[in-house]
Amino acid sequence: MIDFIRQYSWDLHQVLPPALAATVLVLVSVICGLIIGQEREAKAKPAGLRTVTLICVGSTIFTLGSMLIKGPTGDPGRIAAQIVTGIGFLGAGAIIRERGTIVGLTTGATIWATAAIGLLIGAGYAAGGLALTLVVLGTLQGAHSIEKLVQGRCRWVWFTVRYRADGGKTHLRVLKVLDEYRVPDTDWSVKREAEHEVLRIRCCIAHRTHRAFLFELGELTEVQDIDPAPVWNRLADDAGSRAES
């Protein structure tokens, strides 16, 4: 059993027929991409399940193609080496400057690491690719847990935002802000009051990045006031405690 595991833990190109090895490596690449992609998808990141999976599979296919067309005296790393350059442009596209801060660095780094895993799998090391996938997944999830530990728990407060309806135009502007900050639909509701609309929204006031969307809402000229809603704050505290437990 140990010999079997050791044999298939290294270069599969040496132990499997070419067609079978390529098929197995591409399937492993898909699995690795799905594992990392689902973590990104769960956090509503721009590079989600499909993007990360395609990056991993694409890197594997490029590496396999490089090995197939190298010829008897060619360098199998010539095409595969360009993955590093090409993925840099893709990663840079995920990094943007938004509202005075840089966002997307983690997404760019994830793209870079996923491409490296795909290249390794394409070279024949499926077991190594799976192991490194778990390392990347553990880093993404572990770092998030450490951040929560360092920053402290969220303090949830309900706010009431009153604004002029303006024929529904303001509602669309408010939705745009909420979508940009990826505020869950379960954290807000809207009701109509004469010529105005009232938005009740749950917000963490303990962390600057979590409450940033309130400043965006406050800059809308149609918004008349933004006030904490004490009646709802006890419910928010209870909901926040259940979410973090």
pLDDT digits 0-9 by tens, 101-134 = 566 778 888 999 999 999 999 999 999 999 999 9
pLDDT of residue 209: 76
pLDDT average, residue stretch 42-50: 80
Q: Nearest CA to 114 among 27, 22, 33?
A: 33
Q: For residue range 155-209, what is the model confidence (pLDDT) as tens digits?
A: 888 999 999 988 888 999 999 888 878 788 888 999 988 788 999 998 888 877 7
Pairwise pLDDT comparison (15 vs 151), residue with the higher score = 15
Give bridge partners of residue 96 from the DSSP assignment.
103
Q: Nearest CA to 46 among 188, 160, 179?
A: 179
pLDDT band of residue 8 (cuts 50, 70, 90) is low
* One-letter identity of residue 97: R
- The count of structural domains within the chain is 2
- Which of 111, 128, 150 is the C-terminal boundary of a domain? 150
**32 and 54, same domain (yes or no):** yes
pLDDT band of residue 89 (cuts 50, 70, 90) is confident
pLDDT of residue 107: 84
pLDDT band of residue 137 (cuts 50, 70, 90) is very high
pLDDT of residue 72: 62
Triad 103, 108, 112: Cα angle to 5°:
165
Q: Indicate which CATH number applies to the domain containing 201.
A: 3.30.70.260
Q: For residue range 213-240, what is the model confidence (pLDDT) as tens digits?
A: 888 898 898 999 888 865 444 444 454 4
- Which of 150, 182, 216 is the C-terminal boundary of a domain? 150
**109 and 179, same domain (yes or no):** no
Residue 40 exposed, middle or buried by CB count within 10 Å (0-12, 13-18, 19+): buried
Query: Under DSSP, is residue 191 helix (H, G, I), strand (E, B) or coil?
Result: strand
**146 and 161, same domain (yes or no):** no
Q: Mark residue 194 as left, alpha or beta (left: phi above 0; alpha: psi -120 to 50; beta: remaining).
A: left
pLDDT of residue 103: 64
- CB 99, CB 215: distance < 8 Å: no
**32 and 116, same domain (yes or no):** yes
Strand order in the sheet with 223-228: 188-193, 196-204, 156-164, 223-228
**25 and 143, same domain (yes or no):** yes
Triad 215, 229, 162: Cα angle to 5°:
55
**118 and 193, same domain (yes or no):** no
Cα–Cα dist 79/205, whole Å: 50
pLDDT of residue 245: 42
Q: What is the separation, in whole angstroms, between the first and last Cα of the chain? A: 42
pLDDT of residue 236: 45
pLDDT of residue 83: 81
Only one residue has tokens 């004490």, namely 230
Residue 230 exposed, middle or buried by CB count within 10 Å (0-12, 13-18, 19+): exposed
pLDDT band of residue 15 (cuts 50, 70, 90) is confident
